[in-house]
Amino acid sequence: MRTIVNISMPADLKKEVDMAIKEGKYASTSEFFRVLIRMWKDYRLLSELRESEREFKAGKGKILTLKELRRYRS
């Protein structure tokens, strides 16, 4: 199921989005924002992984067994 979301942005940002679409990088404004949100989610995941790596290197991590990992699956 899709949901319609209306957003407000300054004209100069709208021009940037329109230019990206015109250049053929995206098929529509919706596609532009879907890609942007996916990139944001990837960035957030990468940040969490880097933080976990820092904690692990600092001795705060725990090596999980396969059984334990399966409990964390979503």
Q: What is the pLDDT of residues 18-51, one digit of tens each?
A: 999 999 999 999 999 999 999 999 999 999 999 9
Q: Higher confidence at residue 7 or residue 67?
A: 7
Q: What is the pTM (predicted TM-score) of this model?
A: 0.71
User: What is the number of structural domains in the chain?
Assistant: 1
- Judged against a pLDDT cut of 70, whether residue 74 lies above it is answered with no
User: Is position 5 within any domain?
Assistant: no
Residue 4 lies in a domain: no
CA distance 26 to 39: 14
- Contact (CB, 8 A) for 21 and 29: yes
Q: Tell me if 1 is assigned to some domain.
A: no
Domain interval for residue 60: 11-72
Is 21 part of a structural domain of the chain?
Answer: yes
pLDDT in tens, 55-72: 989 988 878 888 888 887
The two tokens of residue 48 are 């969490």
